[in-house]
C-alpha cells in the first residue's frame, strides 16, 4: 500500500487543498481530498481486469466549493433534512439556516462538506479532522469530528466517523459519493438490492411524515435486485416528489454499533459490484435526479440527471423532531462512532 499527497489548490484565504492517493498492490486506488473529507475517485477493475473510476467528481478542486450535488463529500453537522430549520433539545429551540426549500439540508450552506478539514496520513489510512464551533450554523456545542478512511488490498474502502461535543447537540454523518460502476452514462441500468423491508414516506419537501411503511407492493421494493430505472417513472408519491428515488430505507436487523449489509449495487456491462455495510439505521438512496447543470466533471465530462447513484448510510432525516426514531443526540462525555464500508468486486 502506498499513500501519496499533493497540493491540489488553495482557497481564497490560502488554505491548502490536498489530494491523497491510496494505491494497493494490485494498482486499485482511492483518491481523497481534505475539502469536505471527500472521496474524489475510486479506481477498481471490471470483470476483464481493466481499471476504471467509479465515482463522479470534478476535474478542478474549485468545482467542489459549495457544489449543489455535494459530490463525494461528508455533510454535517446533520446530514439530510431538518424540517423548517428548527429543532428542540433539552427544552430549547434551535434555529438553523434554511437552504432547501423550507428546510435545512446537510448542515446548512457552510456545512462540513464546504470546509477545509485538517488531514494526515496514517499507516494504510488517511484521517481528516474538523472542529465545528459552538453556534456554527446554529448548532449547539463545540464538536470535534474525525473521518478515518482505510483502503484494503482487496478493494474495500472503510470510513469510520467519531465525534465529541462539549454540549448536548445533534449529529448525523454520512458520505455523499455518487457511484457509476460502468464508469459513464446513466445508472438506471444498474441493479440495486437493499436490505430494507420498510422505508420512510415523506411530504413533498422530503420530510418524513412519521412512521415507516412496508416496501412490499410499491416501487420502493428492492429486497430482490432490480434495475434502478425499472419503476422510477411510476406515479408514486416518493418518486414524484424527488423526480426519482430520494428516500430513506430502514436497514433490516439494525443494532447500534453492529455492521449490517445495507445495499448491493451491480453493473451489467462492467460486471463491477459494490456492497455497502454500515452501523447506521438508515440508507438514503438518491439517483442523481438533479445532476444536470452541475460543474464539468473529470476530463471535461458533462453530467446529466441519473448519471450516478448516492447510497448514503445515515440516521433518518429530521430525527431531531421525531423522538421515536433512533437517537441522534450526542452528549458531553460520550463519543459518536459510526462506520460505512464500501466493498468493491466483480461478478
pLDDT in tens, 283-330: 999 999 999 999 999 999 999 999 999 999 999 999 999 999 999 999
Per-residue model confidence as pLDDT tens digits over 42-78: 999 999 999 999 999 999 999 999 999 999 999 999 9
- Does the pLDDT at position 140 exceed 90? yes
Question: Which pLDDT score is estimated for 109?
Answer: 97
Residue with cell 465530462: 301
Q: Is 176 a catalytic residue?
A: yes
Distance of CA 140 to CAs 172, 288, 322, Å?
14, 32, 18
Q: How far apart (Å, rounded) are the C-alpha atoms in residues 111 and 77?
A: 7
pTM of the model as a whole:
0.98
Phi/psi for 316 (5° steps) reads -70, 150
Question: Which pLDDT score is estimated for 117?
Answer: 98
Q: Is 347 a catalytic residue?
A: no
User: What number is the average pLDDT over the span 115-141?
Assistant: 97
Annotated catalytic residue within 176, 190, 315, 322: 176
Cell numbers given for 200:
420512510
Q: How far apart (Å, rounded) are the C-alpha atoms in residues 286 and 105?
A: 14
Closest by alpha carbon to 114, among 184, 12, 219, 42?
Answer: 12
Domains and CATH numbers, the chain: 2-346 (2.70.98.10)
Q: How far apart (Å, rounded) are the C-alpha atoms in residues 93 and 189?
A: 45
Question: Under DSSP, is residue 189 helix (H, G, I), strand (E, B) or coil?
Answer: coil
Closest by alpha carbon to 179, among 94, 100, 285, 88?
Answer: 285
Residues 272, 346 contacting (CB under 8 angstroms): yes
Residue length, the chain? 347
DSSP H helix total and E strand total for the chain: 1, 26
Per-residue model confidence as pLDDT tens digits over 237-246: 999 999 999 9
Phi/psi for 102 (5° steps) reads -90, 5
Amino acid at each position: 500500500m502506498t499513500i501519496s499527497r499533493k497540493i491540489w489548490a488553495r482557497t481564497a484565504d490560502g488554505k491548502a487543498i490536498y489530494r491523497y492517493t491510496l494505491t494497493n498492490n494490485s494498482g486499485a486506488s482511492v483518491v481523497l481530498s481534505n475539502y469536505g473529507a471527500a472521496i474524489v475517485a475510486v479506481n477498481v477493475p471490471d470483470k476483464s481486469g481493466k481499471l476504471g473510476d467509479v465515482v463522479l467528481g470534478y476535474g478542478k478542486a474549485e468545482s467542489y466549493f459549495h457544489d449543489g450535488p455535494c459530490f463525494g463529500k461528508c455533510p454535517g453537522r446533520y446530514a439530510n433534512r431538518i424540517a423548517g430549520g428548527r429543532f428542540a433539545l433539552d427544552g430549547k429551540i434551535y434555529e438553523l439556516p434554511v437552504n432547501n426549500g423550507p428546510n435545512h439540508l446537510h448542515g446548512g450552506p457552510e456545512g462540513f462538506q464546504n470546509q477545509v478539514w485538517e488531514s494526515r496520513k496514517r499507516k494504510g489510512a488517511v484521517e481528516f479532522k474538523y472542529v465545528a464551533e459552538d453556534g456554527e450554523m446554529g448548532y449547539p456545542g463545540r464538536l470535534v469530528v474525525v473521518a478515518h478512511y482505510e483502503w484494503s488490498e482487496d478493494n474495500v474502502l472503510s470510513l469510520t466517523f467519531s465525534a465529541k461535543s462539549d454540549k448536548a447537540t445533534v449529529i448525523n454523518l454520512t458520505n455523499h459519493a455518487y457511484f457509476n460502476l460502468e464508469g459513464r452514462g446513466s445508472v438506471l441500468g444498474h441493479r440495486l438490492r437493499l436490505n430494507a423491508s420498510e422505508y420512510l414516506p415523506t411530504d413533498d419537501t422530503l420530510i418524513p411524515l412519521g412512521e415507516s411503511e412496508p416496501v412490499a407492493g410499491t416501487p420502493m421494493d428492492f429486497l430482490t435486485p432490480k434495475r434502478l430505472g425499472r419503476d422510477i417513472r411510476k406515479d408514486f408519491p416518493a418518486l414524484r416528489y424527488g423526480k426519482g428515488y430520494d428516500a430513506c430505507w430502514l436497514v433490516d436487523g439494525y443494532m447500534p454499533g453492529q455492521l449490517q449489509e445495507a445495499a448491493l449495487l451491480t453493473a451489467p456491462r462492467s460486471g463491477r459490484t459494490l456492497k455497502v455495510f454500515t452501523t447506521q439505521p438508515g440508507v438514503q438512496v438518491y439517483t442523481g435526479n438533479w445532476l444536470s447543470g452541475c460543474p464539468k466533471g473529470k476530463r471535461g465530462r458533462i453530467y446529466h440527471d441519473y448519471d450516478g447513484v448516492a447510497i448514503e448510510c445515515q440516521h433518518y432525516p429530521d430525527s431531531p423532531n421525531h423522538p421515536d426514531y433512533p437517537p441522534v443526540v450526542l452528549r458531553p462525555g460520550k463519543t459518536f462512532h459510526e462506520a460505512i464500508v464500501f466493498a468493491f468486486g466483480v461478478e
